[in-house]
Amino acid sequence: MKPIRLIPFLLLAVFLAVPALAQQAPSTPWMQFEQELGLATTYSVDMTIQAMGMNMESKIIRDGGKTRTEMVMPFFNLKTVILEIPENGRTVSYSLFPEKQKYLLNEEDDDATPAAAPKIEELGTETVDGVACTKRRIRMTEDGVSSEVTMWFSPAQKNMPVKMVAAADVPMQPGQPGMPMQSTILFKNYDFSTPAAGLFEVPAGYAKISDMMEVMMDGSAGGLGALMQQMQQMQVEE
């Protein structure tokens, strides 16, 4: 088994943060950008994330300051739901694992570098899916990683983004040079109706866990077993 096979998962995991722009606290660059442009904050949308030669389907559901992100964790084949919920004056994040009936409280990083305000550049218009869209480039820095995001906003979807291309130099280890990475995110099937309140709650009966390893090592569907199968298949294909 070659350790390098783990690298695509690690890189893709980094780029999951890009479409999750809309699920961060109000002080982050995306929310500043969102407020500046007056974008909708209540909606749901399907996303296709293209990175590392793979496509991953995801869905974001928002209701004001509450966000739900649904996905299948790549390589681990693990259904995952991320909740961002305002509690006691701050935004609290939970990871839910529906197939395992478990959840994890995601701890805040007290050492994270404060995010700088995003820099927005207007790039005119460009046609996407037959619609003339407003094109903008956003540059931002968060946790020491600088990124450049180009987005296309469609008037047919209440001026929400329909395409995003993100590029960043992502360090694999502290102190190491960043590795250039790029991903493309396509947004489809916007729904601007108010979602059900229960979507933003930890379901009754879910057991709380202390870290991800409790999910990965429990021996049921998904987790490390699925990863091992993926890696064995890659070796066979070689």
What pLDDT, on the 0 to 100 scale, is given for residue 232?
Answer: 45
Higher pLDDT, 47 or 53: 47
Mean pLDDT of the residues in the chain: 77
- Evaluate if residue 141 carries a pLDDT over 50: yes
DSSP the chain: --GGGGHHHHHHHHHTTTGGGGGS-TTSHHHHHHHHHT---EEEEEEEEEETTEEEEEEEEEETTEEEEEEEETTTTEEEEEEEEEETTEEEEEEEETTTTEEEEE---TTPPPPPPPEEEEEEEEEETTEEEEEEEEEEEETTEEEEEEEEEEGGGTTEEEEEEEEEEEESSTTSPEEEEEEEEEEEEEE-SPPPGGGGSPPTTPEEESSTHHHHTS-SSSTHHHHHHHHHHHHHH-
What pLDDT, on the 0 to 100 scale, is given for residue 26?
Answer: 38
What pLDDT, on the 0 to 100 scale, is given for residue 122?
Answer: 96
Q: 54-63, 102-111, 176-185, 227-236: which range is least confident on average?
A: 227-236
Identify the architecture of domain 3-237 in CATH.
Clam (2.50)
- The band of 156, judged by pLDDT with boundaries at 50, 70 and 90, is very high
Q: Give the mean model confidence (pLDDT) for residues 60-84.
A: 88
Write the pLDDT tens digit of every residue in 199-216: 999 999 999 998 878 877
Q: 138-142, 187-191, 234-238: which range is least confident on average?
A: 234-238
Q: Give the mean model confidence (pLDDT) for residues 209-234.
A: 59
